[in-house]
Structure 1
Amino acid sequence: MRLLALFVALASTVAAASGPDLSAFASLPADPAPPELVRGLHYWISNENDLALFHDAVKDKGGVYVGVGSDQNYLLGAWARAEILVLLDFDQSIVDLHRVYRVVFQAAETPEDFRRLWGLKSRPEVRRLIQEGYTDPRERARALQAYGSARWAVERRLNRVVEQMAKASLPCFLVDEADYAHLRRLFLEGKVFMVRGDLTAKRTVSAVGRAVAQAGMKVGVLYLSNAEQYFPYDSRYRSNLRALPLDEASVVVRTSGQRGISHVKGTYYHYNTQSGASFLAWLEDAKTRDVRAMLRHAPPSGTVYGLSRLDIGPEEAREALKQRLLAKRPVKKGKKPRGLSRGEAVVR
């Protein structure tokens, strides 16, 4: 037995030594805090209630998962079977909430126990986990504050996600053992990185790109939520996103609540999936000033109203949209030549 244990330990050491270099992820620089938050609110939970629409696009993409926001990243990251999670938000409070998720994932061996820990009766236990999990006084205080403010909303949101995924007949890390085990393993192995990052600032996103490249990996899933509707595609944003190692196999998933594009019926959002190569091509296009200008050219899925898929570049997409609009034009009936009575024919 001792020889077997020694062999297993040696094999683990060799595997770790030969694995990707993750050191750059551990030292990702934070962007400065924004001067103000959108509507002055902390978005503790997602209000995107149709994330099931992204399942097929992100499934088993692997690689590095990069996402903004809160709970939705765990659902998508598990479906993607991501090898590394990079969780960004320009609101430090959301980063602090991810730190609460970390200690809960590490402590809970099953999805049932995970959900129990977000319940009201588990508050003393979770506070203890936070206090024991963070030696830095500031990190500990911020995590405790985030937990105190967000716990009730997170519990409600997680229960809602369970219902939504059951209705869609899809696996969910809050119920499915394999999905949950995958996420928990990433936390236990130190492969989940959370940092205050602004998609339009100078430091974090470009540093993520360098870290992914240093590890010799690709971004499998880039989840942007509806962040892009709040800023133009300026030079900084284009530069940041071009720095991420995206390719044809990568997928970008986003939502948008803007006017002028279709929304899933009864919801706030349009849902879009896009290949990494397509996104890079649009970022090179000077005519594309914002996300709405791009999404207007995204072909509808043909299955769900308000869902689109964009896998082509701007020139091809513009021509395709032109042809779709021409095909929808009503055919004008020819006018009857003057001087003819009903039933007479024109002889040439």
Structure 2
Amino acid sequence: MRVLALLVALASSVAFASEPDLAAFASLPADPVPPELVRGLHYWISNENHLELFHDAVKDKGGVYVGVGSDQNYLLGAWARAEVLVLLDFDQSIVDLHRVYRVVFRAAETPADFLRLWTLKSRPEVRRLIQEGYADPRERASALRAHGTARWAVERRLKRVVEQMTKVSLPCFLVDEADYAHLRRLFLDDKVFMLRGDLTAQRGVSAVGRAVARAGMKVGVLYLSNAEQYFPYDRRYRSNIRELPMDEGSVVVRTSGQRGVSHVKGTYYHYNTQSGASFREWLADAKTRDSRAMLRYAPPSGTVYGLSRLDIGPEEAREAMKQRLLAKRPVKKVKKARGLP
């Protein structure tokens, strides 16, 4: 019996030791409130309607998922089977909305229950969950306000996500039991952290990087949405990204509505995936002044117009672009000699 007790104690200590230290995530510092919002709007829901294009890139990446924006993080985080979610947005209202998601995930045992709680009929029930879920009166009031304002938009968005993922035959946390259970377990285990974080500010993102390192983990997925199109790659942004522990196995996923890059047909956006190692190389390159300067070198996927994958550094990418342009020149000369357009 004594030997058995020792074995049980040893097994427990090993299990405890294998659990990452997430204490630093619980005290992440918020960045200052931005002087203004993009177009003065709160982006309660995503308008990226082809997130299925990211599925293969993020699938089973594990590690820490770091993402900006709202609902899209849950779809991608479930596909990635993230071990920790860090949800950032420089708009405090979006952080408040994530707090609503938190009480809904914790209360709803199934995807169907989750969707039901976003309906108008369930509004009183969710308000009660918010009131019971937040002792801090400011957090409670902010979450109630976010729910009252955004509920209808979220309900509509979630229905569209279900329709799109059904159309492309991909699992979705709003329907798939395993995807949903994974996300709900993260919330129940307090492994989801919400932060007013600005990618170009000094405090939040760098603190996330230190928390990931302290936990002995890596960033499996970094989701940037289309945020990069609104700022240059300045010293602070480069430093923030360098502080996030990423390697060749990490993936960065982003969209871009900028001119000069191809957009998926019928949408506002170009969709891009990139290895963490490649992104680090580009950020170390002084010529890469913004995301468009990098994305113009991203090779097209060859499967979907407007989707690209970048896994190489700037020197190799520029040389590859040069060779592609040189290869096209003889074709143009032949056409011109034959009088063809």
TM range (shorter): over 0.9
Task: Return the index of the structure with the highest Cα Rg.
Answer: 1
The residue identity in structure 1 corresponding to 2:164 is: Q
Which residue of 2 is the match for residue 56 of structure 1?
A: 56
Which residue of 1 is the match for residue 296 of structure 2?
A: 296
- Counterparts of 2:187 and 2:13, CA distance in 1: 18
Which residue of 1 is the match for residue 141 of structure 2?
A: 141
Note if 1:242 corresponds to 2:239: no
Offset of residue 324 of structure 1: 1.5
Which residue of 1 is the match for residue 4 of structure 2?
A: none
- Counterparts of 1:335 and 1:100, CA distance in 2: 62
Which residue of 2 is the match for residue 182 of structure 1?
A: 182
Offset of residue 18 of structure 1: 3.7
Which residue of 2 is the match for residue 221 of structure 1?
A: 221
Deviations 1:302-327 (A, max 9, x none): 00000000000000000111112222
Secondary structure, aligned partner of 1:221: strand
Offset of residue 225 of structure 1: 0.2
Structure 2: 5+ residue stretches without partners: 1-6
- Counterparts of 2:41 and 2:138, CA distance in 1: 22
Which residue of 1 is the match for residue 126 of structure 2?
A: 126
Which residue of 2 is the match for residue 164 of structure 1?
A: 164
Superposition TM-score, scaled by structure 1 size: 0.92
Deviations 1:223-280 (A, max 9, x none): 0000000000000000000000010000000000000110001100000000000000
Secondary structure, aligned partner of 1:281: helix
Identity of aligned pairs, percent?
87
Secondary structure, aligned partner of 1:286: coil
Q: How does 1:1-12 map to 2 (within 5 A)?
A: none
Offset of residue 20 of structure 1: 0.6
Deviations 1:182-218 (A, max 9, x none): 0000000000000000000000000000000000000
Offset of residue 332 of structure 1: 1.9
Q: How does 1:308-323 map to 2 (within 5 A)?
A: 308-323=308-323
Secondary structure, aligned partner of 1:253: strand
Which residue of 2 is the match for residue 332 of structure 1?
A: 333
- Counterparts of 2:81 and 2:22, CA distance in 1: 18
Which residue of 1 is the match for residue 100 of structure 2?
A: 100
Moved over 4 A (4+): 7-14, 333-336
Which residue of 1 is the match for residue 278 of structure 2?
A: 278
Matched positions, count: 330
* Structure 1 vs Structure 2 CA RMSD: 1.8
Secondary structure, aligned partner of 2:86: strand
Structure 1: 5+ residue stretches without partners: 1-6, 337-348
Residues 334 and 257 of structure 1, relative CA distance in 2, 3 Å threshold: closer
Secondary structure, aligned partner of 1:332: helix
The residue identity in structure 1 corresponding to 2:168 is: A
Q: How does 1:185-264 map to 2 (within 5 A)?
A: 185-264=185-264
Which residue of 1 is the match for residue 71 of structure 2?
A: 71
